Amino acid sequence: MTASANGVERTVRIRNKLGLHARPAAEFVKTASRFEADVFVRKDSLEVNGKSIMGMMMLAAEYGSEITIRASGTDSEEALNELVQLVEGRFGEE
């Protein structure tokens, strides 16, 4: 985890075979929305709001790609930790 003036961030690899399709994107948004922290996700040069299903779908993050999750504000570390666990746990998929 990296801390900066913009909050905390961590880069993780998409491990589920189907990538960041509708169900995992919805799980991510649902989890991110439980926190007060602002959450942003970046893949390559595109950064989106991690609480937006449309934004998450726009990332088109396929199996093996890397995304960077950034959280700032209240409960940002807790939010980042849970979101990283979700991604590293393959969103409960294979």
Residues forming the active site:
21
* DSSP H or E run through 80: helix 76-88
Exposure on the CB side of residue 63, measured as CA atoms within 13 A? 7
Residue ranges in 2-75 assigned as alpha helix (H): 22-32, 53-58
